[in-house]
Amino acid sequence: MNRFVLFCTLLLALGLPAGADETGAAQKLLAATNVTERTTLLRQVEQTADQPHSTYALGAMRFFLALERFAQDLHSHGFRTPQTMLLPLMRLPVPANPDPRPITYEKWRTMLADLEDGLSRAAETLATVPADAAIAIDVDLARLRIDLNGDGTLSADESLAAVMQSMSAPNQARRRNNSADQPQLPAFRFDRADGYWLEGYAHFLMANTTFWLAHDFENSFDAGFQLFFPDTRFPINDYAGAPSDAERRQAPMPGGGFLENSIFDFISLIHTINWEVTTPDRRKAVRSHLKQMIRLSRENWLAITKETDNEREWLPGPHQPGIHPLTGLEVSRETTEGWQHALGLFENVLDGKALIPHPRFDGVGINLKRFFDEPKRFDLVLSMTGPAMLPFLEPGNVLSGQDWRSVTRQFAGRNFWAFAIWFN
Q: What is the DSSP string of 119-178?
A: HHHHHHHHTTS-TT----EEE-TTT-B--TT-SSB--GGGBHHHHHHHHH-HHHHHT--S
Least confident interval from 80-89, 122-131, 333-342: 80-89
Q: Which residues pair with 378 in a beta bridge?
A: 275
Q: Which helix (H) or strand (E) holds 393?
A: strand 393-394
Q: What is the pTM of this model?
A: 0.87
pLDDT exceeds 90 at position 55: yes
3-state secondary structure 353-366: CCEECCCCCCCCEE
pLDDT on residue 108: 96
- Average model confidence (pLDDT) across the chain: 85
pLDDT mean over 155-178: 67
Amino acid making up residue 303: A
* Nearest-angstrom CA–CA distance, 320 and 332: 9
The alpha carbon torsion through 315, 320, 322, 324 (nearest 10 deg) reads -10
Q: What is the pLDDT of residue 204?
A: 96
pLDDT at 302 over 70: yes
Lowest-confidence range among 67-81, 162-176, 244-258, 378-392? 244-258
Task: Check residues 82 and 179 and name the one with the higher pLDDT.
Answer: 82
Residue ranges per domain, the chain?
A: 20-98+107-214
Distance CA 153, CA 145 (A): 9
For 205-262, what is each residue's pLDDT tens digit?
999 999 999 999 999 999 989 888 887 777 776 666 555 554 454 444 444 444 556 7
Q: Give CA–CA dist 76/97, Å, rounded.
A: 7
Q: What number of other Cβ atoms are within 10 A of residue 419's Cβ? A: 19
End-to-end CA distance of the chain, in Å?
55
